[in-house]
Amino acid sequence: MIIPIRCFTCGKLIAHKWEEYYRRVNEENESSEKVLDELGFTRYCCRRMFVTHQDLMKEISSFSQQG
């Protein structure tokens, strides 16, 4: 699914940084810890939102009915 707009615990806006985080970690092979530090996410709760997020859109879209 898509990343939540806000952190579930503290309410900080996080979604606007997802694309940069994903690109740097998966395409440029940077350390997740380093990227989160540079993006300004210092709280454990916000970091958890990024590290544990699973992108399931490709898997779910295969079940949608094309009319």
Per the domain annotation, does 66 fall within a domain? no
Per the domain annotation, does 6 fall within a domain? no
Domain hosting 41: range is: 15-61
What CATH number is given to the structural domain containing 22? 1.10.10.60
Q: What is the pLDDT of residue 20?
A: 95
Express as a percent the part of the chain with pLDDT over 90.
72
Read off the pLDDT of residues 22-54 as tens digits, 9 standing for 90 and up.
999 999 999 999 999 999 999 999 999 999 988
Comparing CA positions, the residue from 34, 43, 37, 33 lying closest to residue 13 is 43
Per the domain annotation, does 2 fall within a domain? no
Per the domain annotation, does 20 fall within a domain? yes
Question: The whole model's pTM is what?
Answer: 0.79
**DSSP conformation letters of 9-40:** TT--B-GGGHHHHHIIIIIS---HHHHHHHHT
